[in-house]
Amino acid sequence: MYIEPKELLLKMKEHDFVYDTKVGKMVNKKYEEDKAYVFKILDLLYENFHRVRFVYDLSESVIGKGKWAVLISQKFAVADKRIPIPTVPFHLQYDGKINISIMAKHSYFMLIGFFQELDDEICVSLNFKNDEYRKIYKKLVENQTFV
């Protein structure tokens, strides 16, 4: 199966997130708002795809010093299978600072400012639980066929 790299951003919206679980709803009282804003972020990235670089690793050695990055993870895709607790399904890294506790709503507004005020690219890591999409994403990142 071939999927345009840009379309992977929209494919992420088709899957359940931690926000859809009982634990996710219990831990995060604003889960509906957070999920809606994660989807808005995916749309924003889609609209600005010419400035998106897909990566697997958000470390400084991969994305560069002081860069911006977003991680969006499908339900339980980043959970340690030995501990059945979902990990953070979304986080924003800005100016090289990692912030996993920032709300998706605030991140969305920061990203609007990023795209309006800066000319930099943004690194995006999509973590699919679905094996097929995970393989497609891995192949894209390894081959850099989207550049």
What is the per-residue pLDDT for 116?
Answer: 97
Q: Are 104 and 38 within 8 A, CB to CB?
A: yes
CA–CA separation, 117 and 56 (whole Å): 26
What is the per-residue pLDDT for 91?
Answer: 84
Tell me if residue 52 falls in helix, strand or coil: strand
Q: Is-above-0.75 flag for pTM? A: yes
CA–CA separation, 85 and 94 (whole Å): 26
In CATH terms, the fold of domain 5-143 is hypothetical protein tt1805 (3.40.1530)
Residue % of the chain over a pLDDT of 90: 41
Give the containing element (helix H, strand E) for 61.
helix 60-63
Residues 6+ apart with CB under 8 A from 61: none
pLDDT tens-place string over residues 13-37: 988 887 777 777 777 778 888 889 9
Length of the chain: 147
pLDDT tens-place string over residues 90-143: 888 898 888 777 888 999 999 999 999 999 999 999 989 888 998 999 999 988
What is the per-residue pLDDT for 84?
Answer: 52
